[in-house]
Amino acid sequence: MLPPLSPTERAHSHKVAARVRAEIGAAGGWLSFERFMELALYAPSLGYYSAGSAKLGPGGDFVTAPEVSDLFGRCLARQCAAVLESGGGEILELGAGTGRMAAALLAELAALGVLPERYAILEVSGDLAARQRERLSQLPRALAERLVWLTALPAAPLRGVILANEVMDALPCRRFAWRAAGVHEIGVALDEQATAAAEITFREREAAAAPELARACAAILADLDEPLLEGYTSEACLRLTPWIASLSDCLQQGLLLLCDYGLPRRHYYHPQRSSGTLRCHFRQRAHDDPYVYVGLQDISAWVDFTRVAEAATASGLTVAGFATQAACLAGLGLEEFVARAGSEVQRARLAGEARRLILPQEMGEAFKMMALTRDFEAPLAAFALQDLRRLL
């Protein structure tokens, strides 16, 4: 059971639901789930990522790897350092959360003596950007002065590293249902049977799949070893392709490092995963109902890394690595960081944090890392221990 809302939270959610209701009405009574998710997460001043609330960490709705431990950022710093040493340049982080990873990464790069020309943060949430500025203002001046915040991708392509940790899962996705007559698109309509007149509630309603979704589903089916069964429901994030293309345009030379929970296509659309991967998070509770607490909860879906790889290749990028988070962090010296701790107490604490990052039942297997490169041929330490590209 989800925690109850405060009067202020309930009022805010009602405003977001009213915005969705208006769009459903303007669209003739049916709205794609992709648009519903976009409004719930990103509607200006209303959506989950646009309005002010604690989203990350113990006091928020979910915990990301950088919030678990600075070990995550310190490991990634080693991979960034290798790229910067080869050709200089900058780092661009997409969606920096609380700013904790940026702080850990910059501090480790300083210790390695390999600082970027600048560290840019692209943040769509004004609230999170303000929190990042406050946190990162505490860094030493030599590090803080390299920071800059962006509201859009830079116009000029950069040399260096682009980082995206848990960004792709929050891209609005389409939902579909496999029927005997073909693929149907799952959309959102008003629940006219709602008993409380003051409440705005939604229900799912299927419609004929839009041509682009039908084509995407046909491509998915062609890659599978067996057909999908009647009633199989899942997601397809069609925005991944233009998103990767935009990042490709942004990278002149260097590395695009992606980290998210997801699977290769044949595993993603496995017969046993017949209800899809959509998940919602509210105050550290995970559930699968995106139509409650609209605007107050996170909505995400696992990443089809095969689609990412296809988009990268089509954009002229090289898929240089694909592995589990556990293997990548091990390749970047996670155990060494723990062993070098200054005291037994600190070592025990770091060991506990490391376990959360790498154990299969924690983040180690569900989260994958993918390296996309342009004009960068040097070996990537993050992918030295495991290569899962054959599964894509």
Alpha carbons 98 and 57: distance in angstroms, whole number: 9
Check residue 195 and give its pLDDT.
Answer: 45
Q: Residue 195 is which amino acid?
A: T
Going by C-alpha positions, the residue among 2, 4, 38 that lies closest to residue 20 is 38
Alpha carbons 40 and 20: distance in angstroms, whole number: 8
The domain in which residue 104 lies consists of 1-392
For the whole model, what pTM was predicted?
0.95
Check residue 194 and give its pLDDT.
Answer: 61
Check residue 126 and give its pLDDT.
Answer: 84
- Domain CATH for 377: 3.40.50.12710
For the record, the structure tokens of 214 come out as 């039908």
Could you list the mean pLDDT of each consecutive 10-residue stretch along the chain, which spans 392 residues?
Answer: 90 95 96 98 92 57 88 98 94 95 98 97 89 96 97 96 97 96 95 69 96 96 92 98 98 98 97 95 92 95 98 98 98 96 93 95 95 96 98 97
Biggest CA pair distance of the chain = 65
Count of C-beta atoms within a 10 Å radius of residue 316: 11
Count of C-beta atoms within a 10 Å radius of residue 137: 10
Q: Residue 217 is which amino acid?
A: C
Alpha carbons 365 and 176: distance in angstroms, whole number: 26
How do 367-374 and 279-282 pair as beta strands? Answer: unpaired
Alpha carbon dihedral 77, 83, 87, 91, in 10-degree steps, equals -50
Q: How many structural domains comprise the chain?
A: 1
Could you tell me if 142 and 209 are in contact, meaning their C-beta atoms sit under 8 angstroms apart? no
